[in-house]
Structure 1
């Protein structure tokens, strides 16, 4: 979840959320709002005839509405096994208005709070017990085994981006592929009860991608990064896992060129040096 967007976007999205709630016969229960990146999504708790729920509205320019991201939650509802804790999708609708396309999704209510509230990056160690970590490990293993034709990370992207953003020649061929959540960060995980939120982008990725992404978003809190390596070491401490870390480092270093995740750049480069045996200046250590 992110901060409230610019007033014009916020007003438009609140209006569309109100319209979606009426169409789905749901009533907002509180003033609590959960915003997506730059106001792309707005979610609120609601009351519906089927019980308390969570109504999420997604927007995009009309010519870009639809496709893989919009179908992700619906396909997760069809294909993800019960071993993966996630909010169940009750209803959905789509419409176009004022040059924008909208998707409304009504989910079961999740009572647990996200580990972070406004951003993917972890800044303080969360209090997570062994059962939580075991549940996460089991969920990621279950996701990895789901057959799918969806793609979260493309080999073509790796071929282009890895040498550019890692700053070195590198074999960009992923050694293995498996199904991933695709956006596993702390604002998409709840505690004390574990739930994995936001199923837009799930699909095939280099094996270990989810664990590597969560680890990268934890680098400002070494204590938690170490716990991830302990509990998900069966994935990360393998050639597949190390390659997945390089993929994630590539992606996040690319975001720093746009002004995002700037606090992570130093830790990411330090981790890159550790993985490749090169100093941060590019010399072989």
Structure 2
């Protein structure tokens, strides 16, 4: 990964800052701050996958997002360039993006501290997600087949009808957001039940009830019949991760949420 990251630096004619590297889950990605030839701050991220596994949505997520959304009025780091390489059956994609220097709001997707954000931030978030939601795409973030299977299995209720499918970021949690608002990590975007992003953000703040209530204020679809399918889908997704040993700190809060959804 380091060798191919260094090759991408040369191919894209950028400079990286020595001694700074950031590894993603299971060593699948390697990122580092960089500067373009004109001195513009940038971020160079390298992702790897077996060559025969690069046809999925995750591989092309950032590039597709750039074509579909651009920089979303500055709320999405624009993708500047891409460089692909293959070595011994492994594909490598280097993505050069505008650098975001503001820290993410949480080091972990699960918000574990109360957070105070200005009203303008919430308005920017709601407005940006509305712009995303109306973009047409054939990408899929959540499949109907998953909804039909997971909700009965993990919530014990019949699958609610999905009144509307809209385009979603697909992984909207607190480690993918900054203030001022930037929305990071666009690998998994695509169609999902309406309200999916709001429900995801809410789920990852269940440990902080005050902030969780603020999400419901910003996104009134939560708690409404129109948002039930999205809430149930997200709750089922995270209960599934708990069953696999992840997000255990959310286990009790997710069970409480599932009880509330069952009553609805």
TM range (shorter): over 0.9
Q: Residues of 2 paired with 1:210 and 1:79: CA distance?
A: 18
Preserved CA contact (<8 Å) 1:56 1:105:
yes
Residues 232 and 258 in structure 2, CA contact (< 8 A), matched pair in contact too: yes
Residue among 56, 76, 87 paired with 2:77:
87
Matched residues in 2 for 1:264 and 1:84: separation? 32
Question: Which of 194, 198, 219 in structure 2 is aligned with 1:211?
Answer: 198
**Partner-residue secondary structure (3-state), 2:45:** strand
Residue in 1 that maps onto 2:184: 197
The answer to whether the 8 Å contact 1:183/1:201 transfers is: yes
CA distance in 1, matches of 2:200, 2:157: 22
Aligned partners of 1:178 and 1:205 also within 8 Å: yes
Matching residue of 1:229: 216
Distance change in 2, residues 1:223/1:258 (3 Å): same
Please list the CA deviations of residues 235-270 of structure 1 after superposition, one character each: whole Å capped at 9, or x if unmatched: 213212222111001111111122111111110110
In 2, Cα distance between equivalents of 1:242 and 1:199: 24
1:25 deviation in Å?
1.3
1:155 and 1:173 in contact (8 A); partners too? no
2:183 is paired with a residue of what secondary structure? coil
Provide the residue aligned with 2:106 in structure 1: 116
Contact 1:84 1:142 in 2 (8 A): no
Determine the C-alpha separation between the residues in 2 that align with 1:156 and 1:30.
Answer: 46
Distance 1:266 1:275 in 2: 14
- Contact between 1:162 and 1:250, CA under 8 Å: does it hold in 2? yes
Q: 2:169 maps to what in 1?
A: 181
Q: How does 1:24-39 map to 2 (within 5 A)?
A: 24-39=12-27
- Matched position secondary structure for 1:114: coil
| Alpha-carbon shift at residue 34 of structure 1 (Å) | 3.1
For 1:30 and 1:227, locate their aligned partners in 2 and report how far apart those are by CA, in whole Å. Answer: 41
Which residue of 133, 146, 150 maps to 2:122?
A: 133
Q: Is the 8 A contact 2:147 2:159 kept in 1?
A: no
Q: Which residue of 1 aligns with 2:232?
A: 246
TM-superposition CA deviations, 1:66-89 (whole Å, max 9, x none)? 332122211211121634710011
Match of 1:274 among 255, 260, 263: 260
Task: Assess, with a 3 A threshold, how the Cα gap between structure 1 residues 123 and 79 changes in structure 2: closer, same or farther.
Answer: same
Distance 1:16 1:144 in 2: 36
Q: 1:169 to 1:231 in 2, by over 3 A?
A: closer
Equivalenced residue count is 262
Give the structure 1 partner of residue 95 of structure 2: 105
Whole-Å separation in 2 of the counterparts to 1:171 and 1:52: 47
Which residues of structure 1 form unaligned runs of 5+?
Answer: 1-12, 279-285
- Deviations along 1:159-198, one digit per CA (max 9) or x if unpaired, are 12221122x241343221100000101111112x100111
Q: Give 1:34-49 correspondences, 5 Å limit.
A: 34-49=22-37
User: Any conservation in 2 of the 1:65–1:102 contact (CA below 8 Å)?
Assistant: no
